[in-house]
Structure 1
């Protein structure tokens, strides 16, 4: 996100939150909780989705939703369902496991999709 918004990188949590706030970005996981052995998406079980209905009621200006993986979109589709008043996009996963694309390739795709 720092690269996309041409801002110097920071590890400071407050600076990171401010970057999102300054660019009108809400960040929320699709799943509130789950059980998993390891970090693979297919290891997830007993998942519980966040309450997006309440979230969208509280923040009605949200019109674009971005997923950082196809798995996140899959859980969203399973528990939330897409609304015709929003646009949905799957971004290239930032995960290091997504090794078939370089950081620069992922960054270029993120830039195109987000802007």
Structure 2
């Protein structure tokens, strides 16, 4: 089970990489690299969904990906930071962590 959560986490990090790389995509080689990273990211999410409910997998993957993209935007690309943005990032993180705990609890109860 831990492997599946790790796959979601790595897939979400790769989502930041391919989303950021699209911004700097100026050649066919970089385009191919973006597509390869995108495919690997999706593969990890799909593989994780074999052991974790698909809805939870997708919600956590998208939630973490969004969280990481916003953080990268502020830290790497110097996008605007606001306290409102921080509050919503915290809410998103609480939701993602909550889904993990609820899913783990449901699986233990089912055994």
What is the TM-score of this pair, normalised by structure 2? 0.34
What is the TM-score of this pair, normalised by structure 1? 0.33
User: Relative contact order, CA 8 A, sep 6+: which one is greater?
Assistant: 2
User: Whose strand fraction is larger, Structure 1's or Structure 2's?
Assistant: 1
User: Whose helix fraction is larger, Structure 1's or Structure 2's?
Assistant: 2
